[in-house]
């Protein structure tokens, strides 16, 4: 086993900010005397295979440098590999992304020195991991894991709008605002039968947020009751909502008072199945996955994460 930290850097994270900031982060890692080996991702989903190979070679402590998407890839690499139990890995985060949603639940600072000090302390939480099964573009069932949340409907359409710039490594926070405006005009309710554990809801989805942590979409507290290690998926469901109602709800949405929006319903479950009447956009941890979500479930206390969650 290798006792060094494996640092996985996504140079495109934050619209290239991670690459520009790496010299400062490297300096701080050395100043705080962390032994590490750094490797970089070169293309989307590259971290999945990188982490699998590095675990095979003996690494057990990992630091992600990037955004929620980088963390998403690393978590999937840990979950996909078959060399060791995923719970043997310790995973820390130095956040240099655009949205930085996962760290908000875990009270991890965006200040590099403070984030590294927390990593050195190795204060660990055992966090749940979500699993989503969906049909890919070839209509073959595929599984992806998520560490923060899944969005189905409106907020996933926003992610789809910002995808081209993200793939070019040119994403910025204003992209989300533009995607939000475009989605307000383009998105429609989608008929669905939703199975929430043993409860069935036949409705028209405008937006369905499912998560193990509280924040989505660059800081919106859409899942206010989520606890990252309670073995439950938190669900915020917006049904049959008009554009006018949504616009009137924006002050509460931006103000972190989503539970005050009367058009939203909240649930806590372990298993969700979806029977959608027509294709609907969906994403996991801010990564666009397609149009055909099928099944979302929870794996309790699966990963050991560096956190300041209280």
Helices (H), 188-260: 243-254
Structure tokens at 97: 């992304």
Task: State the CATH class of domain 130-300.
Answer: mainly beta
Residues carrying CATH 3.40.50.10330, the chain: 2-128
CA distance 208 to 251: 19
Dist. CA 72–CA 150, nearest whole Å: 11
CA atoms in the 13 A half-sphere facing the CB of 67? 28
The confidence score (pLDDT) of residue 98 equals 81
Q: What is the pLDDT of residue 70?
A: 96
Which tokens in the block code for residue 134? Answer: 């969906």
At 83 the pLDDT is 95
Cα separation, 173 vs 14, whole angstroms: 9
CA-nearest of 153, 208, 155 to 180 is 155
* H helices present in 135-221, as ranges: 154-167, 173-186
What pLDDT, on the 0 to 100 scale, is given for residue 258? 85
pLDDT tens digit at each of 310 positions of the chain: 778 999 999 999 988 999 999 999 999 999 999 999 999 999 999 999 999 999 999 999 999 999 999 999 999 999 999 999 999 999 999 999 888 999 999 999 999 999 999 999 999 999 999 999 999 989 999 999 999 999 999 889 888 887 766 766 666 666 666 777 777 767 788 999 999 999 999 999 989 999 999 999 888 899 999 999 999 999 999 987 777 877 778 778 777 788 888 889 999 999 999 999 899 999 999 999 999 999 999 999 999 999 999 8
In DSSP terms, which residues pair with 192 in a beta bridge?
203, 276
End-to-end CA distance of the chain: 31
CATH number of 2-128: 3.40.50.10330
Is residue 162 within 8 Å of residue 171, measured between CB atoms?
yes
Residues 43, 102, 221, 282, CA torsion sign: positive
- CATH 2.60.200.40, the chain: domain bounds: 130-300
Measured distance CA(219)–CA(172) in Å, rounded: 14
């Amino acid at each position: 086993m290798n006792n060094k930290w494996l640092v996985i850097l996504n140079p495109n994270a934050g619209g290239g900010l991670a690459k520009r900031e790496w010299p400062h982060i490297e300096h701080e890692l050395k100043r705080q005397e962390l032994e590490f080996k750094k490797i970089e991702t070169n293309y989307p989903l590259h971290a999945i295979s990188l982490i699998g190979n590095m675990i095979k070679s003996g690494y057990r402590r990992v630091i992600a440098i990037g955004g929620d998407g980088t963390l998403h890839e690393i978590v999937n690499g840990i979950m996909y590999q078959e060399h060791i139990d995923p719970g043997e890995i310790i995973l820390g985060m130095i956040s240099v992304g655009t949205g930085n949603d996962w760290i908000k639940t875990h009270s991890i600072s965006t200040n590099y020195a403070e984030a590294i000090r927390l990593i050195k302390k190795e204060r660990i939480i055992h966090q749940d991991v979500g699993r989503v099964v969906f049909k890919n573009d070839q209509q073959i069932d595929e599984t992806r894991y998520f560490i923060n949340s899944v969005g189905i409907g409106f907020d996933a359409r926003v992610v789809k709008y910002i995808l081209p710039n993200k793939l070019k490594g040119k994403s910025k926070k204003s992209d989300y605002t533009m995607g939000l405006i475009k989605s307000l005009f383009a998105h429609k309710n989608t008929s669905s039968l939703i199975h929430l554990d043993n409860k069935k809801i036949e409705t028209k989805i405008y937006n369905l947020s499912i998560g193990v942590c509280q924040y989505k979409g660059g800081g919106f507290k859409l899942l206010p009751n989520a606890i990252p290690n309670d073995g439950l998926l938190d669900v915020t469901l917006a049904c049959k909502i008009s554009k006018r109602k949504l616009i009137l709800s924006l002050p509460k949405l931006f103000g972190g008072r989503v539970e005050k929006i009367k058009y939203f319903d909240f649930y806590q479950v372990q298993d969700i199945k979806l029977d959608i009447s027509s294709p609907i956009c969906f994403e996991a941890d801010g990564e666009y996955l397609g149009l055909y979500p099928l099944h979302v479930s929870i794996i309790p206390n699966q990963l050991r994460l560096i956190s300041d969650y209280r």
